[in-house]
Structure 1
Amino acid sequence: MLQVKNLKITHKNDLKSLINNLSISLNDAGKLAIIGEEGTGKSTLLKYLADPSLIEDYCSFHGELISDFRGIAYIPQSMDHLQLEQHLSDYIYHDANIAYFDYNYFFQVANQLNFDCDLLEKEHLHLKNLSGGERLKIQLMKALAYHPQLLLLDEPTADLDSLSLDWLESFIKSSPQTIIFISHDQHFIQKVATSILHLELVRKRQLPQARFYFGSYEDYLAKRQQKDQHQRMLAKKEHEELQKREAKFKKIHDSVQSQLRQTKDSTAGRLLAKKMKAVKSYEKRLEKDLQLITQKPDTMDNMAIFFSDISPLAKQKIILDWENQKLDTGQTISLQIKGQDKILIIGKNGLCKSRLMQKIHTELKAKTGLTVSYMPQHYEDQLDLNLTPLDFLGNHDTQKVKTYLASLDFTADEINHSCHQLSGGQKAKLFLAKMVLDKSNVLLLDEPSRHFSPTSQPIVRRLLSQFKGAIICISHDRLLIESDIFELYQLKQDHLIKVSIDR
């Protein structure tokens, strides 16, 4: 069993409260989904549950964490730079506890995830040379080989191809382990979660709020909508009743005050003064009642961003024209992209989709007449994490940058944080802001929706749908793939083909 009692987590940098008086209890074999908008403290909470020392350098915390699990495995949202520099074999075997490491199960999971075990034989292969999906698979293989009783996963669906995602869904549903995971994939959450913890930052992102629900995601959404609707109706009714009382009070107050000014009779004046005292007392009661009436439910604001003032390329302008282009990955690619084409590339993990995108980026950024924006799969490839958001967007007018960041729900404090303190979703928002501010007419997007919440994802899809330039996108996001925004291409072992799906 896992118990959290009266947990408070506060950011050391600006004393911002992320978690306030959180108390939850999770039974054995429970499957808890932690959900919420970008930057609400989900990853910080998961790290705390894995090992409180993981957040000591940037957060202070108070409360009680009770766990009787013998083995805990934590898989973060991304590997740190020291891990990425490791050889694959060193990462798996160097610190392996032979007494507890189940080699048979390790290779069983590898097979189920369609992981290329030949990679394990390459002595000098670094983790940084693997795709995002391969990195996640190797972490899952290693973690599960120890048969942990508690498994903590930070966005495990973000980099997995569809077959691996199906396996993960099946594994979590049937697993006897207690599993706590963060995800923005609504379909995945609905399939596997048995309870929901929803983290929010309301009142201009200053007040942390947590809702725990034991049940499915679909039931949680329905119950929350029902509860919020009832609260809104009650708040409306009570506010209307209070307004009537205030109007009545004002009428009496103005009448008594007018009579006081006009009376010259001392006896009548004393009576009116007593009446005014009663009126003042009633005014104080109204003020007190105003504090006690039901308030509208606190909810987070949605991000607001759109492309404007871009100069779209001509529809027939060819910006990329590959005919049997041979890549260093061994694939031969034929692909033509025109000025307002929007294509999305799908494919299994490990087929070098990101390397294909890097190749396209290298070619397009060298061309004149194009304003190319590139959102890589691993943000640190294009984002210096020591910079602040203001620094990253520093080649634009400061006030304009602040306005855009505010529309993306950044607080005044957050725009001065170093980027390594931001969540994955907040970093993704920085790339969106840069695309808009740069007035880009070509977007290269490697897994653009992976860190956006279910509330933000429709906004991102609408943004891409309304964009007037060219988009080349890589994604495993089912909703993005099934949308009508893109023409679909599939990367195979040796070539790229155009495909269609039922939508």
Structure 2
Amino acid sequence: MLLTIQHLSIHHQKDLRTLVQDLSLRIHTGDKVAIIGEEGNGKSSLLQLLLQEPAPDHLLVEGTIQRHFSAPVYLPQTLPKALAELSLNDYFFVDPDELDYDLVYRYADQLGFDSQRLSSLQSLDSLSGGETLKIQLIRALAGPADIFFLDEPSNDLDSLLWLEHFVATCPQAVVFVSHDEDFLNHTATKIIHLESLKRKQVAKTQVWQGNYPAYKEDRKQRYQKQKQQAQNERKEFEKTMDKHRRQKAQVRHSLINTHDATAGRLVAKKMKQVLGRERRFEQQRKELTQAPLDEEAIQLFFSNIQPLPAKKSLLKRGEFTLPTEEHLHAQDKIGIIGANGIGKSTLLKRIYQEMLIKTDIRPGYMPQQYQEMLPDLETPLQFLCPSGDQLQEQKALTHLAQLQFTRQEVHHAISDLSGGQQAKLLLLKLVLDQANLLLLDEPSRNFSPTSQPQIRQLFQQYPGAIIAVSHDRHFLRQVCDRVYRLTEAGLVPVDNF
């Protein structure tokens, strides 16, 4: 036994909402426990609390967590600022006793990271997103560990199949947060689902002892069964109430039109019985099966987009390493894949900068590092409406509510929002700007598995052109018309993806 969690509840005191409600679970050696849920529902907070206490000041924790592990390893969602300025040499060789260097070099080779770079003076903050994740994985996995706590380990990684295999087969327990549906399908043996219902006023925490596909199917069936049962019970109850209302109307009519005292007493007694029966019916109404609650789906649409003519060429052969005879037209949807560090994000940024110069194109850009576009100290409302115009603010508030932002969250500093909420904010900015060309760097990376279908559909139905860097296999299959692999020689068409 590595973790015993009993009746754990986590309350966000600043926002006056519950994130985790009455969670009880035991985690054993070899368990692969996935924490899933919508953006901002407290997944990272729960992961960190399971790792260690105390909780942050803004969280109130009830219940107990008994930790029986001695060598936990934590991989955060983003590289800590304290490590960003370190060189690779310092990161790997300052404390040599901590690491098994046979494993360091083996994992570097398996993850496609040049082992000669491990002793270089290159700073960590100069690495690509995928490379940063790789070196954290290499160091984390090469140290002593009896349990891993991983926050979005599949984000930006080109070696997903390797990571899936490692997590699925390693002897240690792994507790992880992930939005990647394929990764969840192939790794998780237990599920913790954090839900926030009724506009985030009601927390619901579910535990599933099994894999993710089985959980999805069971959840779907339970939802449909409860929904059907609630409808059937309500239908039968309404039939009973209709009959009762007719009887009550008849007794009331008799009571009004009866002038004989003896008959009047009998009718009054009957009315008392009818009213007593009505009180019982009202009690039965409370005991009816309730219609199942579900989290509100994301409501966001690209509207009033003026797409460019379908045959208009945005990129021609030879531009930005585009292969010979290849063109990017104004309504194409292109995916770009490739090894970490090959330059995918750099290429996308160059294309965006070139498109900004063109007067007939309105480009929108979603970078991999959200801080490139999001000012940390501003609130979502200030970011979307810098002029303070009331009509614009009202429109923005409506959209933010449809994206499940609470009234409190729209006034939080952007730096206090979760990665998924920041992604939603950038996505909303693209919609409000009415861009007719989208340049997206890992656009689905921080959206929950339950939001992913809506996100893919949103981009699939987008009337303009898309160039997207992505490691998300579902996204590439559903959204992109063509996929290219970026190599040192340029972009190479990929037939099967």
TM > 0.5 fold call: yes
Deviation at 1:473, TM superposition (A): 0.9
Distance change >3 Å, CA 253–CA 83, structure 1 → 2: farther
Contact 1:333 1:495 in 2 (8 A): no
Post-superposition offset of 1:432: 1.5
Match among 481, 488, 500 for residue 494 of structure 2: 500
Residues of 1 paired with 2:269 and 2:415: CA distance? 64
Match of 1:30 in 2: 31
* Counterpart among 224, 229, 240 of residue 224 in structure 2: 229
Look up the match of 2:206: 211
1:406 to 397, 401, 408: 401
Shift of 1:126: 2.1
SS of residue in 2 equivalent to 1:346? strand
CA distance in 1, matches of 2:349, 2:423: 18
Alignment pair present for 1:90 and 2:87? no
- Structure 1 position 119 matched with structure 2 position 114: no
2:30 is matched by which residue type in structure 1? A
Of 379-388 and 220-229, deviating more is: 220-229
Q: Decide whether the 8 Å contact of 2:322 with 2:491 is kept in 1.
A: no
Counterpart in 1 of 2:68?
A: 68
SS of residue in 1 equivalent to 2:41:
coil
Structure 1 residue 375 displacement after superposition: 0.5
Give secondary structure in 1 for the equivalent of 2:69.
coil
The amino acid across from 1:379 in the alignment is Y
Query: What is the deviation of 1:255?
Result: 2.0
1:376 is aligned with what amino acid? P
Over residues 82-110 of structure 1, what are the superposed CA-to-partner deviations in whole Å (9 max), with x where a residue is unaligned?
Answer: 3323333333344x3x4442222222221
- Closer, same or farther: CA 222–322 of 1 in aligned 2, 3 Å: closer
Query: 1:382-401 counterparts in 2 under 5 A?
Result: 382-395=373-386, 397-401=392-396
Alpha-carbon shift at residue 297 of structure 1 (Å): 1.9
Deviations 1:302-328 (A, max 9, x none): 112111111112234344457466xxx
The counterpart of 1:429, out of the listed 424, 431, 450, is 424
Q: Which residue number corresponds to residue 135 of structure 1?
A: 132
- Work out the CA distance in 1 between the residues paired with 2:444 and 2:198: 26
Letter aligned with residue 372 of structure 1? P
2:241 aligned partner: 246
Deviations 1:277-306 (A, max 9, x none): 322222222222112111122211211211
Rounded to whole Å, the distance in 2 between the matches of 1:135 and 1:461 is: 26
| Residue 328 (structure 1) aligns with | none
Aligned letter for 2:241?
Answer: E
Show structure 1 runs of 4+ deviating over 4 A: 331-336
Q: Distance in 2 between matches of 1:340 and 1:186?
A: 28
Q: Identify the residue that residue 156 of structure 2 maps to in structure 1.
A: 159
Determine if contact 2:308/2:436 at 8 Å carries over to the other structure.
Answer: yes
SS in 2 for 1:444: strand
Task: Describe the shift of the 1:420–1:333 C-alpha distance in structure 2 as closer, same or farther (beyond 3 A).
Answer: farther
Distance 1:227 1:339, change over 3 A: closer
Match of residue 146 from structure 2:
149
Query: Is contact 1:332–1:495 with CA below 8 Å preserved after alignment?
Result: no
Distance change (3 Å), C-alpha of 1:502 and 1:322: closer
SS in structure 2 at match of 1:383: coil
Relative distance call for 1:341 and 1:224 in structure 2 (3 A) is closer
Matching of residue 360 in structure 1 with residue 351 in structure 2: yes
Q: 1:284 to 1:417 in 2, by over 3 A?
A: farther
Equivalent-residue separation in structure 1 for 2:455 and 2:475 (angstroms): 10
121 and 322 in structure 1: CA distance in 2 versus 1, 3 angstrom threshold: farther
C-alpha contact 2:338 2:486 (8 A) present in aligned 1 = yes
Aligned partner letter, 2:496: D
**Unmatched segments (≥5 aa) in structure 2:** none
CA change 1:403–1:101 in 2 (3 A) is same
Deviation readout 1:122-176 (Å, 9 max, x if unpaired): 32x2222111111111111111222211101111112111xx2111111112211
1:103 matched to 2:101: yes
- Alpha-carbon RMSD across the aligned residues, in angstroms, is 2.2
Query: In 2 relative to 1, CA 145–401 (structure 1 residues): closer, same or farther, beyond 3 Å?
Result: same
Q: Are 2:299 and 1:304 equivalent residues in the alignment?
A: yes
Report the Cα offset of residue 197 of structure 1.
1.5
Over the matched positions of the two proteins, sequence identity in percent amounts to: 41
Question: C-alpha separation between the residues in 1 aligned to 2:102 and 2:494?
Answer: 39
How many Å separate the matches in 2 of 1:340 and 1:127? 38
Instruction: Quote the offset at 1:440 in angstroms.
Output: 0.6
Match of 2:370 among 379, 392, 399: 379
| Superposed displacement of residue 347, structure 1 | 0.2
Q: Distance in 2 between matches of 1:233 and 1:368?
A: 55
2:172 aligned with 1:177: yes
The one-letter amino acid of 1:52's match is: E
1:254-403 correspondence to structure 2 within 5 Å: 254-321=249-316, 323=318, 337-395=328-386, 397-403=392-398
- Work out the CA distance in 1 between the residues paired with 2:478 and 2:213: 22
| Rounded Cα–Cα distance in structure 2 between residues aligned with 1:85 and 1:481 | 34
Q: Is residue 235–residue 293 contact of structure 1 (8 Å, CA) maintained in 2? A: yes
Which is worse superposed, 299-308 or 221-230? 221-230
Aligned equivalents of 2:430, 2:463: Cα separation in 1: 13
Which amino acid is 1:74 matched to? Answer: Y
Distance 1:488 1:26, change over 3 A: same
SS at match of 1:110: helix
Question: For the residues of structure 2 that align with 1:301 and 1:254, how far apart are their CA atoms?
Answer: 41
Query: What secondary structure is seen at the aligned counterpart in 2 of 1:140?
Result: helix
Distance 1:14 1:168 in 2: 36
Tell me: CA distance 1:475–1:4, structure 2 relative to 1, closer, same or farther (3 Å): same
Compared with structure 1, are the counterparts of its residues 421 and 333 closer, same or farther at alpha carbon in structure 2 (3 Å cutoff)?
A: farther
Match of 2:77 in 1: 77
Which residue in 2 is equivalent to 1:47?
48
Paired residues, number? 491
Tell me, what secondary structure is at the counterpart of 1:52? coil
The one-letter code matched in structure 2 to 1:103 is Y
